[in-house]
Structure 1
Amino acid sequence: MAIRVLVVDDSSFFRRRVSEILDLDPMLKVVDTAANGKEAVEKSRTGSYDVITMDIEMPVMDGISAVREIMKTNPIPVLMFSSLTHDGAQATLDALDAGAMDFLPKRFEDIARSKEEAILLLQQRVKAIARRRPLIAPRSAALRPSASSSALDTAKAGSLASRSRSAPLGGVTPARQVPAPPIERKTAPKRTGKSYQLLAIGTSTGGPVALQKVLTALPANFPHPIVLIQHMPGTFTAAFAARLNTLCQINVKEAEDGDSLRPGHAYLAPGGKQMLLEGRAGAARLRIIDGNDKVNYKPCVDITFASAAKIYGAKVLAVVLTGMGADGREGARLLKDQGANIWAQDEETCVVYGMPQAIAKAGLASESLPLPIIGEAIVNEMSH
């Protein structure tokens, strides 16, 4: 049975264009359209749809308000279309906070190198989020950066300056064993007793909400640096890092070339670039480069994980969260070969069980964990 889609946009040209692209795939069927958010909300209550594609800026009711109403009454997976601007980034993040599952730039030429690639990507994204129940959590006004964010940053700085800066934990690397299938858990796993110096997290589709859930669970005195790789356009990562920084007790920033890795700080790889680690454990720095155009993802989880394996070896906890494809698998393999610990998000709580599934199927994940407990589990594993 074909996936039923509702296409929402105030432009009749764009509604027709999206409908034609989706209907090219026999697994997809556009069964209706709407010209504004109000129509979309009304149709979502009476129609039977598997996915809604939604514009952000529309008359009568905007896309963000529409998503919020749809999630209250009849949650349906929503794919947002947005502009690649600073304002577009802020609005897209608001839509994800409201419950949208994924987003794509409205200008298809911004997401692919050819028309055929753009068509395939849109079709794949719609199929990936279809029939996945949205994970709706209570939202608050704190999700939006405000004038109070600078005060929060000041408070963070004072907290970080007053805490003790202990040296990275040492320890003997345990002998590597043949990987066993990951164990699915509903409670945080027992601490392994491993010694760590770095937390590395990779994600894609569904990642913004997942990262927010994980990072807000970490305390201000988290004892290790954190590198974050989220598939996201370059105009979005600065806004996303700023938003996370307002929500988290740790410090979050968009990574810059030459940044020194500091405990309690998270560094988000800039979109359109590659992020590598160089130097030595305990005194590592970040390199931000353009990278090879033949690499599918910018940033790429595999590339950052591979560089972490060279610098930190066994002293890494790498976590792969929701996302399409298999980015992160080969980097995780290199980390595992060095004795590092690899976790994957479980299927039930993923928006798209692609990247974590690739890790699990390759026998690289020691744990397969539901999203709500991953932050707690990280603190338990790394903070002692």
Structure 2
Amino acid sequence: MAFAQRSITAGTSPGSDPIKVMVVDDAVVIRGLLTRWLGEDKSLKVVSSHRNGKLAVEDIEKSNPDVVVLDIEMPEMDGMTALPLMLAKKRDLVVIMASTLTRRNAEISLKALSLGAADYVPKPESTSEVTTSIDFRRELIEKVKALGARALRMRGPARTMRAETSAGRTAQPVRPISARPATDTRATFRGAAQPAGAAAGAVKYQTRPYSSARPRILAIGSSTGGPQALQEVMREVGTAMNDVPVVITQHMPPTFTAILAEHMGKAALRPSKEGEDGEVLKPGNIYVAPGGKHMIVEKDGGVAKIRLTDGPPVNFCKPAVDPLFDSVAKVFGSASLGVILTGMGHDGAEGVKTIAAGGGSVITQDEATSVVWGMPGAAAQTGVCSEILPLKEIGPKISRVLKGNTR
């Protein structure tokens, strides 16, 4: 599994309303197992379970779930057909797609994100593997809790005060990135930055100036909500990356990362692929860390090359952002430009400090436009980022910085 959080205790705080969950899966054993796992967590409440999308859609208004765990392949009505019907009935519904690790299902899962699903959870291939997979169980519960807690915050200030993210901060409502308002609510002041949408008196984060060196590499880290955010950033950067290679670590399993690389290429209209061990980095090319491997950059014979390693997970992730950022800082120093986008956890926080210590620059996504402000929030809290920006501003800003303009 490419992504696993440290614990399964994050989510709503004691005394807050439980997150209501609907489970939709045609396999009775899997449906029962997921229902039991979720029901064992006191911050969650399984309000209904169904064997196909049709029954689930009909029950949305009655059960009124906050989160739906939705299987893709089901008889009578599959998950992709049910998804828009569910969202039409409840606009703030969080839908997490569940699918096995096939190329077809990976493509469908990524398409579901563009249609309004909040995230996906890759299921092991067989029922026996599902029942014994600790990583799958952990990831499922973490995502239901993190995304569900954010859904509760949409329901009024009382819940907003009670519900907390695993980072201990309130966050904005969960909506698909494509559906977010394109308003500029960023505020900057005297060497510090305030996340978009932050209220008066909210925490202010220290920032540092951009490097005076023109970047020779762009390194990006992301997780939950990352595929859509990456696509928007790559679309905006486009030909501005002609003179630099782009290396990306997105928390994803094998197969998914290969398809993600294809999507990045289409968005940027640039060559894009999974990184290969020993491959020389070429300007204008995009390299995505393959699922299940850490991707780093090394200098060999005067040229920068990709190295894939099979070491243990870092920050409970594989691939992880920190090893990539650490290696980029070592090879490119002050000519490094790092970006942290939406995601759960804190992967990348140490890496941005390494980039900053080497004289490089870091941009992180703001809270209002992040699906989950875990990774970017942790990066912002280091105080070494150059800017904290709404998603729609990150691509244009990267383009300017790559051209030597940091204004």
* Paired position in structure 2 for 1:171: none
Structure 1 residue 203: Cα displacement: 0.7
* Paired position in structure 1 for 2:353: 333
Q: Structure 2 matches for 1:301-380, cutoff 5 A?
A: 301-380=321-400
User: Does 1:195 pair with 2:214?
Assistant: yes
Structure 1 residue 61: Cα displacement: 1.8
* Paired position in structure 1 for 2:235: 216
**More divergent stretch after superposition (122-131 vs 88-97):** 88-97
* Paired position in structure 1 for 2:103: 86
Structure 1 residue 361: Cα displacement: 1.4
1:330 partner letter: E
User: Structure 2: how far apart are the matches of 1:129 and 1:295?
Assistant: 20
User: Structure 2: how far apart are the matches of 1:126 and 1:288?
Assistant: 31
Q: Choose the corresponding residue for 1:64, options 80, 105, 130.
A: 80
Does structure 2 conserve the Cα–Cα contact (< 8 Å) formed by 1:104 and 1:111? no
User: Structure 2: how far apart are the matches of 1:9 and 1:62?
Assistant: 10
User: Does 1:107 pair with 2:124?
Assistant: yes
Q: Structure 2 matches for 1:1-384, cutoff 5 A?
A: 1-75=17-91, 76-107=93-124, 118-130=136-148, 131=151, 132-135=173-176, 137=178, 181-184=192-195, 194-222=213-241, 223-279=243-299, 283-292=303-312, 296-384=316-404
CA 323–71 in structure 1, closer or farther in 2 if over 3 Å, else same = same
Aligned partner of residue 21 in structure 1, secondary structure:
helix
User: Structure 2: how far apart are the matches of 1:200 and 1:286?
Assistant: 13
Aligned partner of residue 221 in structure 2, secondary structure:
strand
Q: How many residues align?
A: 341
1:206 partner letter: G
CA 113–347 in structure 1, closer or farther in 2 if over 3 Å, else same = farther
User: Structure 2: how far apart are the matches of 1:105 and 1:42?
Assistant: 26
User: Structure 1: how far apart are the matches of 2:267 and 2:251?
Assistant: 20
Structure 1 residue 13: Cα displacement: 2.0
Does structure 2 conserve the Cα–Cα contact (< 8 Å) formed by 1:347 and 1:353? yes
Structure 1 residue 194: Cα displacement: 4.3
CA 61–281 in structure 1, closer or farther in 2 if over 3 Å, else same = farther
TM-score, normalised to structure 2, is 0.77
**What CA deviation, in whole Å up to 9, does each residue of 1:185-238 have, x standing for no partner?**
69xxx9875411111100111111111111111223523111000010012111
User: Structure 2: how far apart are the matches of 1:199 and 1:366?
Assistant: 14
**More divergent stretch after superposition (274-283 vs 298-307):** 274-283
| 4+ residue runs over 4 A deviation | 108-118, 190-194
1:82 partner letter: S
User: Structure 1: how far apart are the matches of 2:400 and 2:129?
Assistant: 39
Does structure 1 conserve the Cα–Cα contact (< 8 Å) formed by 2:39 and 2:46? yes
**What CA deviation, in whole Å up to 9, does each residue of 1:68-110 have, x standing for no partner?**
3333442311111111122221121122222212111222999
Does structure 2 conserve the Cα–Cα contact (< 8 Å) formed by 1:326 and 1:355? yes
Aligned partner of residue 196 in structure 1, secondary structure:
coil
1:15 partner letter: R
Structure 1 residue 111: Cα displacement: 9.5
CA 298–115 in structure 1, closer or farther in 2 if over 3 Å, else same = closer
**What CA deviation, in whole Å up to 9, does each residue of 1:268-294 have, x standing for no partner?**
000101111111798311111212367
**More divergent stretch after superposition (215-224 vs 16-25):** 215-224
Does structure 2 conserve the Cα–Cα contact (< 8 Å) formed by 1:184 and 1:367? no
Structure 1 residue 41: Cα displacement: 2.5
Does structure 2 conserve the Cα–Cα contact (< 8 Å) formed by 1:202 and 1:301? yes
- Tell me, which stretches of 5 or more residues in structure 2 are unaligned? 1-16, 152-172, 180-189, 198-208
CA 226–111 in structure 1, closer or farther in 2 if over 3 Å, else same = farther
Structure 1 residue 6: Cα displacement: 1.1
User: Structure 2: how far apart are the matches of 1:267 and 1:324?
Assistant: 22
State the identity %.
Answer: 40
**What CA deviation, in whole Å up to 9, does each residue of 1:144-184 have, x standing for no partner?**
xxxxxxxxxxxxxxxxxxxxxxxxxxxxxxxxxxx964344
CA 294–367 in structure 1, closer or farther in 2 if over 3 Å, else same = closer
CA 375–17 in structure 1, closer or farther in 2 if over 3 Å, else same = same
Aligned partner of residue 216 in structure 1, secondary structure:
helix
Aligned partner of residue 364 in structure 1, secondary structure:
coil
